[in-house]
Amino acid sequence: MSPVLTIDDLAFEVRLSASRKTLGLTVGRMGELVLSAPPGVPDEQLREFVMRKRLWVYKQLARKEALQHVVRRKVFTDGEGFTYLGRTHRLRLVDGPEGPIKLTGGRFVMPKVMAPNGEAHMIRWYSERAKPWLESKVKAYADRMEVTPSGVTVQDLGYRWGSCGKGGRLYFHWKTILLPARIAEYVVVHELAHLHEPHHTPEVWLRVERSMPDYERRKTWLAEHGMSVEGLQG
């Protein structure tokens, strides 16, 4: 288990990595706090760093709490924006019987009769697109990471972007396909690394870094912006 650094009402999980040369703070999707550091940094230096960053941490926590409480559900009207791989596409409702949703000409096209159950239809569309996209990324990274996943499943994982299951099966939230491609790729690499080690040990982060040298920037982006692209919200 990673050590914990507590300062006032803030508790940080301390993750040590030999590949790091600087200190870094991350505020996770559910408000979890992570302090990343190279080995050997004195506790006093860690505390001083956190004290300097406390205002930023509180601002991030307040922002995430606000995002959790302000849920603007889609109403499926013409012109609403829906995200796919980091880009927003406007919805166009058309006359006609039920049929498949299409992404064409930069717009999502949906028959009007499907709008009352639009959320379920869009989740199905996202899930169907996410599976082959994620499978292609898993295949692209698996060999270089020396792992052999048994398969990919896309489903609702609650507050997790992905998980590594028994038998080497990888699970991804359907919302992963809403993220920018480079961020979704980080989620893939992260889960592939867990095929070697289920916990967030320094070795896991080293494996992630070998395959994705800029993973820290992608990880930070996901922690800071992930909630803003979640679900079928406005």
Q: For position 215, which CATH number holds?
A: 3.30.2010.10
Least confidently predicted of 17-26, 88-97, 112-121, 137-146: 17-26
Tokens encoding 100: 């498949």
Least confidently predicted of 47-51, 70-74, 172-176, 183-187: 70-74
142: helix, coil or strand? helix
> Within this chain, do residues 85 and 22 fall inside the same structural domain, yes or no?
no
> Within this chain, do residues 119 and 177 fall inside the same structural domain, yes or no?
yes
Higher per-residue confidence, 232 vs 140: 140
Pairing of strands 10-16, 33-37: parallel
Does a structural domain hold residue 35? yes
pLDDT by residue (tens digit) across 144-157?
Answer: 999 999 999 999 98
Torsion of CA 205, 209, 215, 216, to 10 degrees: 60
Burial class (CB in 10 A: 0-12, 13-18, 19+), 69: exposed
Burial class (CB in 10 A: 0-12, 13-18, 19+), 158: exposed
Nearest to 34 by CA among 222, 176, 223: 223
Question: Of the candidates 21, 41, 69, which is a domain's last residue?
Answer: 69
Q: Which residues pair with 108 in a beta bridge?
A: 91, 103
pLDDT by residue (tens digit) across 186-198?
Answer: 999 999 999 998 8
Task: Report the sign of the C-alpha dihedral through residues 176, 199, 26, 209, in that order.
Answer: negative
Q: Which domain holds residue 130?
A: 81-229
Check if the beta carbon of residue 34 is closer than 8 Å to that of residue 25.
Answer: yes
Q: What does pLDDT average to over the chain?
A: 89
Check if the beta carbon of residue 212 is closer than 8 Å to that of residue 103.
Answer: no
> What percent of the chain clears pLDDT 90, i.e. is strictly above it?
67
pLDDT by residue (tens digit) across 30-39?
Answer: 778 899 999 9
Tokens encoding 221: 């982006």
Q: How many CB atoms lie within 10 A of CB 110?
A: 24
pLDDT by residue (tens digit) across 107-140?
Answer: 999 999 999 999 999 999 999 999 999 999 999 9
Torsion of CA 48, 53, 54, 55, to 10 degrees: 140
Does a structural domain hold residue 74? no
> Within this chain, do residues 59 and 86 fall inside the same structural domain, yes or no?
no
Does a structural domain hold residue 214? yes
pLDDT at 165: 87
pLDDT at 234 over 60: no
Tokens encoding 67: 């995002």
pLDDT at 233 over 50: no
Nearest to 140 by CA among 45, 56, 211: 211
> Within this chain, do residues 16 and 110 fall inside the same structural domain, yes or no?
no
pLDDT at 3: 84
> Within this chain, do residues 144 and 188 fall inside the same structural domain, yes or no?
yes
> Within this chain, do residues 35 and 146 fall inside the same structural domain, yes or no?
no
